[in-house]
Structure 1
Amino acid sequence: MNVRSVKEGDTEVLVPVPEEGANFAPSAAPVFFNPVMEMNRDISIAATSAFLKRMEPDPEKTITYVDALSASGIRGLRVANEIGIETTLNDWSEDAYKLIQENIENMGIGDHTFASHKNANVLLHEKHFNIVDLDPFGTPAPFLASAARSVVNLLEVTATDTAPLCGAHLNSGIRKYAAIPLNNEYHSEMGVRILLGRVARELSLHDKAMVPLLSHATRHYVRTYLHIRRGAKQADKMLKKMGFIAQCECGNREKVYGLAVHINDKCSLCGKEYLISGPMWLGELHEPEFCDEIIEEMEQRDLGTKEMSVKMLEFCRDELSIPMFYDQHLLCKKLGVSASTIDTLITALRDNGYKASRTHFSGTSFKTDAELPDIERIIVNIR
């Protein structure tokens, strides 16, 4: 296996490269390594470190982290090197396992870093970890049950199967996430909430609950950081934030909370039939204070994607905790008017007494507590 040295943050590791003549795609290498995910990993380092400061861990107790689907191992190796907690890097691939062992030895971190060569589900069913990180090639769905059982404090999940999550591959999304997504203007947020809904249901089986600290859709993936709380009452409280979205082609949408609910089949504005999506998470996606704590961590670290990451985190911090966002250009096309700047529209909504914010999901989108007729009236009257 051909390897080369790369540096991310303060960590230098060996990663695989495709064989000569192979298509130069990450998946063409004998062990998967994707340089495009550096931003994901940078934020992971800062978020994990920020969470540990919140925990104020007992120095007598060991904090354990597992990168359950390590591939090249770069994520877990960075955690071990840049944060310094006890880290387990696991992968089913023999090549990946050997490369991880080589990097651990080269980096001199063997006192608190361990390579594992197991099926990820087996490992997660065998042991509990304070922090469980799932970063699969594709869907995390096959590993969510074991991760929900294993995790104690913080669950970090990446999903790169955005087509099933966001409704482009409807049947695949239904099979993997036991929910119906809609491929519409807010499909990116739909994907985040479908994933969170599946995680919430898995956690509830173990009398655990989640509090989303940060959840974002960036490029081709979804990523979430979930604070875990224990107890049946906490799980019951969490499930009250599950629900459905009823969407009409006129643009009207209705949120319905609960898992066994009555949903009107006709739109309250135009009378046409609703399309129903869910069940999904309708609660908060971020905790603003935690976003600030991540930003503070990033500012103190040498990270290659710092500027871009901080900008995205600021959008997450400041966006309203309201499902789902509206696309300004789509509304303007429907109304036959030219679009103002997004900041002008948000100011107009606020001036009319509504809450409004930008969103990290799209540069042309916004969130508001205004109803559709009021949004359209304000758009038409903007000068």
Structure 2
Amino acid sequence: MKLRKVREGKVELLVPDVDIPEHGRRVAFYNPAMEIDRNISVAAVAIFRETYSKLFGEEPVVFDALTATGVRAIRYAKEAGVRLCVACDVNENAARLAAENARLNDVEVEVLNSDARKVMLERNFDVIDLDPFGTPANFLPFAARSLKRFSLLCVTATDTATLFGKYPDASMRRYFLRSASVEFAKELGLRILLSFVIRECARYNKAFIPKLCYAHRHYVRCIGLVERRKEKADSLIECFSPLYVSSKEWRTEPFGDSCFVGTLFLGPTKDAEFCERVEKFMLTHGLKGSELVERIKEELDIPFYYDLTSIAKQLKIHQPRVERVLTELRRRGYGASRSAIQSTGIKTNARLETVEKVVKELARF
């Protein structure tokens, strides 16, 4: 296998010298497009490690369940200060390359050539990072069981065609919720994954408390604190509600030509204070992607967004600038912010009719 050297964050890595579409089952997978996600994760793990060490006077044990080249585990050791890191891959070539990359960066990482599910059945961890190719659904039950009383769980899904509404039946099979091809499909997909994570943790009397959850480019990512507290798990379940959607709207009861998604988590998807700490860490350490975290932090934390481009197109009018629409909605007493997911999206507690009226009025000038 021909290798080339790349640099990401503070680490150097040997990665397969092939184009991403040519990656096969016997080749360790490295995707440079995920660097921003890994930057955010490094900051999140560093912040958790600091909190954990202060609370318990010891170091957390981190598990990179699907390590491939070892990039996450090595960066956690090198940049987040993690001293006890376990990296795992069922692919023998990947495990061998991860071990070589750990030596290259002079960090101690325990590398296992095994099925991550087997490892999570046999051992318990304080931090688990699931970053599979496709859906994490097959790994989540094992992660939820393996996590300790106070821990951090990071989950990625790249099956966005399923989550964003192209394959609603597959979404039902994997996540027990039906995705839909609607204007706010990206956030709907995010909440489908988040709902699944919360439910899986609740099965073990654990609460998954969302800290920084987002959809970006070709993936969805949920980062949250996990606590073994029945009462907290129950309070999160209380944030679930039946959801009906049409192309532009959503309600908790049937309406018009709406379809039923399922019972979905409609609570907060982020913790603004945690986002602030992640953003500060990234800026301090020169990590790309802090502007994404800032957008997530500033976003109004209510379900779903309106896409102004789609609204203007349907009304057959010129689309006013996003900031003008936000300013006018706020002037009328509504909460309003940009969407962190959709560049032309806005979040507001105003109804669709009000947003359309504002867009029409502003389009005249």
* Counterparts in 2 of 1:171 and 1:252: CA distance versus 1, 3 Å: closer
Shift of 1:163: 0.7
Given candidates 293, 310, 323, the residue that maps to 2:290 is 310
Structure 1 gap segments, 5+ residues each: 257-262
Name the residue aligned to 2:15: 15
The Cα offsets for residues 154-175 of structure 1, whole Å up to 9 and x where unpaired, read as 0001111101111111221111
1:74 aligns with 2:71: yes
The Cα offsets for residues 329-357 of structure 1, whole Å up to 9 and x where unpaired, read as 21122333221100000001000110000
- In 2, distance between residues paired with 1:242 and 1:2? 49
Given candidates 134, 138, 141, the residue that maps to 2:137 is 141
Q: Is the 8 A contact 1:312 1:360 kept in 2?
A: yes
Given candidates 352, 357, 361, the residue that maps to 2:341 is 361
The Cα offsets for residues 347-375 of structure 1, whole Å up to 9 and x where unpaired, read as 01000110000011111110000112222
SS of 2:45's partner is helix
Q: Is the 8 A contact 1:194 1:279 kept in 2?
A: no
1:377 aligns with 2:361: no
TM-score under structure 1 length normalisation: 0.90
Counterpart of 2:2, as a letter, is: N
Measured on the aligned residues, the alpha-carbon RMSD in Å equals 1.6
Name the residue aligned to 1:215: 213
Shift of 1:252: 3.5
The Cα offsets for residues 249-271 of structure 1, whole Å up to 9 and x where unpaired, read as 5x3321x3xxxxxx3x3x2xxxx
Given candidates 30, 43, 47, the residue that maps to 1:46 is 43
Shift of 1:56: 4.3
Name the residue aligned to 2:326: 346
The Cα offsets for residues 244-293 of structure 1, whole Å up to 9 and x where unpaired, read as 321235x3321x3xxxxxx3x3x2xxxx2321213322111111111110
The Cα offsets for residues 77-111 of structure 1, whole Å up to 9 and x where unpaired, read as 1111112311000000110111122222333223x
Q: Is the 8 A contact 1:200 1:209 kept in 2?
A: yes
Counterpart of 1:273, as a letter, is: D
Q: Is the 8 A contact 2:69 2:101 kept in 1?
A: no
Structure 2 gap segments, 5+ residues each: none
1:128 aligns with 2:124: yes
Counterpart of 1:47, as a letter, is: A
Name the residue aligned to 2:194: 196
- In 2, distance between residues paired with 1:310 and 1:302? 9
* Counterparts in 2 of 1:253 and 1:108: CA distance versus 1, 3 Å: closer
Counterpart of 1:296, as a letter, is: K
- In 1, distance between residues paired with 2:127 and 2:67? 14
SS of 1:95's partner is helix
Name the residue aligned to 2:224: 226
Shift of 1:238: 0.9
Given candidates 251, 254, 263, the residue that maps to 1:279 is 263
1:155 aligns with 2:139: no
* Counterparts in 2 of 1:78 and 1:379: CA distance versus 1, 3 Å: same
The Cα offsets for residues 100-159 of structure 1, whole Å up to 9 and x where unpaired, read as 22222333223xx20111111111111111110000011111000001111231000111
Moved more, 316-325 or 78-87: 78-87
Name the residue aligned to 1:301: 285
- In 2, distance between residues paired with 1:212 and 1:92? 29
Q: Is the 8 A contact 1:26 1:34 kept in 2?
A: no
The Cα offsets for residues 169-214 of structure 1, whole Å up to 9 and x where unpaired, read as 1221111111111111111101110000111110011000111111
* Counterparts in 2 of 1:58 and 1:39: CA distance versus 1, 3 Å: same
Q: Is the 8 A contact 1:26 1:33 kept in 2?
A: no
What percentage of residue pairs aligned between the two structures are identical?
34
* Counterparts in 2 of 1:341 and 1:126: CA distance versus 1, 3 Å: same
Name the residue aligned to 2:3: 3
Given candidates 52, 55, 80, the residue that maps to 2:52 is 55
Name the residue aligned to 1:176: 174
TM-score under structure 2 length normalisation: 0.94
Given candidates 280, 305, 330, the residue that maps to 1:325 is 305
* Counterparts in 2 of 1:215 and 1:59: CA distance versus 1, 3 Å: closer
Q: Is the 8 A contact 2:208 2:224 kept in 1?
A: yes
Given candidates 103, 112, 116, the residue that maps to 1:116 is 112
Aligned residues: 359
* Counterparts in 2 of 1:146 and 1:109: CA distance versus 1, 3 Å: same
- In 2, distance between residues paired with 1:106 and 1:378? 58
- In 2, distance between residues paired with 1:367 and 1:174? 27
Counterpart of 1:143, as a letter, is: F
Counterpart of 1:41, as a letter, is: R
